Chain A
Amino acid sequence: MEYTTTYQSIVFMGKIASGKGTQAEAVLKHFGGTLYSNGNKVREVAQLPTPFGTKMKEMYEEGLLMPEWVASYWMSHALVSQYSSERVVFEAVAKKPNEAELFDEIHQWIERPYVVFNLDISDDTVRERSAARARDIVDSAKSVEKRLEEYHEYTSKSIEFFRKRGTLIDIDGTLESAAVEKLIFNYLQS
């Protein structure tokens, strides 16, 4: 951890395959903190042999956004109890506009500074990158299209919300990952 920043919550937003995971990892490595990823959490609970786990597994495999009450609960829990005194890097959070409003409300209530990085790439770049990496069922063409649809319907509105709040930083996600990383690191240290 060679760098420091005053931001306790650092959020990455962007379409599927926009590099959120890579950048989150780089920030964690150099600034320290804990990764908060709805995707990882869903994959984790989808393994549980409980009614909740089974249902989450079905939703994940169909490429649906997780239910709002679960997303809000996990987010509130992370910020208010679990990681209240740690830096948290968020990957894929606040995808729906009310989650973004909630995210902002919680931060104000607990007086915790945050910044949102928007890794901007085109839909065609999403398709190319997903086909190339084929990580799991979520990278299948059908699932990618579903996620793009949800991005345009919901996530783009969350991004607009953060932009209006003055907490959003736009980053060109088509740049080489080292260049993207440099832009992010510079901002965090400024």
Chain B
Amino acid sequence: MQASTIIFIGPQGSGKGTQIERLYKVITELDPLRRVVDIQTGRRFRALAAKRETYAERKIELSMESGALQPDFITHLLWGQAMLDQLDPKSHLLIDGFPRTVNQAEVLEDAFDFFERDFLHVINLDTPEDVVRKRMQERARSDDTDDSIETRLKWYRDDTLPVLDYYRVRPDTAVHDIDGTTSIDEVHAQIVKAIKITV
């Protein structure tokens, strides 16, 4: 199995975190000699905001409560740290939570180049807004207020959907459109089939 780079893209509540966990397990079992590096910026954002020590951390917390898109440089700070500490060209890499803008995708290219990662799998967890709204209301995380849900859906439409278009024309890239409305097991099966790994 070659070192793979897999980017998960989907609105909040589309099940990215759950699917990454499942895929992580499968790849680890299939290829125990390689490290699987899993970078999820959402979790890292929440951990940073919870610290509330510096001006920046308090500002991040406020942005999270309102659902506003964080500045690109804060996102970069989180994935940059993770890559610098853990990544090398031989590891598998699973990504969730970025790139959320085309600008972030362009900066990320530079890091992919550095770590010699040409080929990308992009998993598009295609999930209608109504389904996502319902799921987010049900999971009741503290940053999931009605207003923040709507704000996040809006920036997903405006800023993140163009990232998918960016990857659809990028050379050495396979964008896999996955129906995110089915069960966790079914979505997982679709992903495994799409990236052609055998269990």
Where the two chains meet, the residues of A that have a C-beta atom closer than 8 Å to any C-beta of B are: 50-52, 55, 67-70, 72-73, 76-77, 80-81, 84-85, 102, 105-106, 109-111
Q: List 18 A-B contacts (CB under 8 A).
A: A51-B89, A52-B84, A52-B88, A70-B80, A70-B114, A72-B73, A73-B80, A73-B84, A77-B80, A80-B56, A80-B74, A80-B77, A81-B54, A81-B77, A84-B54, A105-B71, A105-B73, A109-B71
Contacts of B56 in A (CB 8 A): 80-81, 84, 109-110
Chain A binding site: helix, strand, loop or mixed by DSSP?
A: helix
Q: Provide the bound-state CA to CA distance between A50 and B55, in Å.
A: 33
Whether B107 pairs with A72 at a CB distance below 8 angstroms is yes
Residues of A within 8 A of B111 (CB): 67, 69
CB of B59 closer than 8 Å to a CB of A: yes
User: In chain B, what residue has the closest Cβ to A112?
Assistant: B55
Interface pair A72/B88, CB less than 8 Å apart: no
Closest to A55 in B: B114
Q: With a CB–CB cut-off of 8 A, which chain B residues contact A73?
A: 76-77, 80-81, 84
Query: For the complex, what is the distance from the CA of A162 to the CA of B56, rounded to whole Å?
Result: 23
B: number of interface residues (CB 8 Å):
22
B107 touches A68 (CB 8 A): yes
CB distance from B60 to the nearest CB of A (A): 9
Which of the residues B74, B81, B114 comes within 8 Å of A67, measured between beta carbons? B114
- Ranked nearest first, the 7 interchain pairs of A and B with the lowest CB-CB distance are A73-B80, A51-B88, A69-B111, A69-B110, A76-B73, A76-B77, A80-B56
Residue among A51, A52, A69 making CB contact with B108, cutoff 8 Å: A69
In the complex, which residues of chain B have a beta carbon less than 8 angstroms from the beta carbon of A51?
Answer: 87-89, 115
- Closest CB in chain A relative to B19 CB, distance in Å: 26
Determine the distance from Cα of A109 to Cα of B80 in the docked complex, in whole angstroms: 19
A50 to B74, CA, bound (A): 25
The interface residues of chain B lying within 8 Å CB-to-CB of A68 are 107, 110
Kindly state the separation between the CA atoms of A171 and B67 in the bound complex, as whole angstroms: 45
**Residues of chain A contacted by B76 (CB below 8 angstroms):** 69, 72-73, 76
How does the 8 Å CB contact mask read for B59-75 relative to A, with 1 for contact and 0 for none? 10000000000010110
